[in-house]
Amino acid sequence: MGFLGACLGILACLGIIILVIYIKLAKMFGHESIKEIASAIKNFRSIEQQEYTREKSINGMTKLLEPVIIRDFGDFNKDFLFSKVEKNLVKIFNAIEEKSVDDIRNDNELIYMYSAIRDKITDLKNDNINIKYDEVIFHRHAIKSYLKSSGKATITISSTLEYYYSNDSNRRLEKKFKDLKKQTRYTTEFVYVYDETQFKYNQKAFTISCPNCGAPLQQLGAGNCQYCGTYIEPINLKNWYMISYKEDYK
Ligand SMILES: [Zn+2]
């Protein structure tokens, strides 16, 4: 009886200590958040997986910015630009997956993107990394920002999409998200050079490379590459060209 009594006493003490700690924590954070924290710790992986597969919200203000852009560019059509986002990203994903620039080398729409993609592919080849983007589906697009200065206008677009992603250099990631379709968001930038004379002083913002040798071109007009002599077609400046893209997952 004495032993059992001692055991019960110890259990009662432990119970009281746990209760006191719980009440203190509950006072600090509230009952619900304690439950949430506990389940978060327990289900950390499943929460990461839920986030991975949760459709992301769009990050933009199209209603506000569209009229401002139309005031400057009367023929601006946001749906046309959104379709460019989709086409360009798919072309870029394919090039990365194939580790080949063959299909984008002479693609007029990717004229400002070419050298960056080529460099990325060179890195993937050197590190022997294989990346795949399968079953790409776009959801929504929104205009995130608009800027007009020094002869060029820049539009930033936020887009939500999903795909099966794999990268064989990251085994941990591969295992965690195996067979799950990733829901993500991308930010892309488009530029329109409306005044070439002003723009010349501001060319450092982005460069165009020779499709043959990769050297940066000194001029936007037609001519021959200074390095390898390849004839470069004149660039139609009156167009929205993609200049950057990046994943905006969190
Ligand atoms: Zn060249």
What distance in angstroms lies between residue 209's CA and the mean position of ligand 1's atoms? Answer: 8
Q: What is the rounded end-to-end Cα distance, in angstroms, of the chain?
A: 60
What distance in angstroms lies between residue 237's CA and the mean position of ligand 1's atoms? Answer: 20
What distance in angstroms lies between residue 38's CA and the mean position of ligand 1's atoms? Answer: 60
- Give the global pTM: 0.77
The CATH number given to whatever domain includes residue 236 is 3.10.450
Same domain, 25 and 72: no
Evaluate whether residue 48 is within a structural domain. no
pLDDT value at residue 203: 55
pLDDT value at residue 136: 98
Same domain, 65 and 17: no
Q: Rounding to the nearest 10 degrees, give the CA dihedral for residues 191, 95, 77, 183.
A: -110
Same domain, 113 and 151: yes
Evaluate whether residue 36 is within a structural domain. yes
pLDDT value at residue 138: 98
Evaluate whether residue 49 is within a structural domain. no
pLDDT value at residue 168: 92
pLDDT value at residue 68: 97
Same domain, 115 and 161: yes
The total number of structural domains in the chain stands at: 2
Residues of the chain with confidence (pLDDT) below 70: 1, 41-42, 199-207, 218-222
Domain that holds residue 137: 57-247
pLDDT value at residue 10: 86
At residue 239, the 3 state secondary structure works out as coil
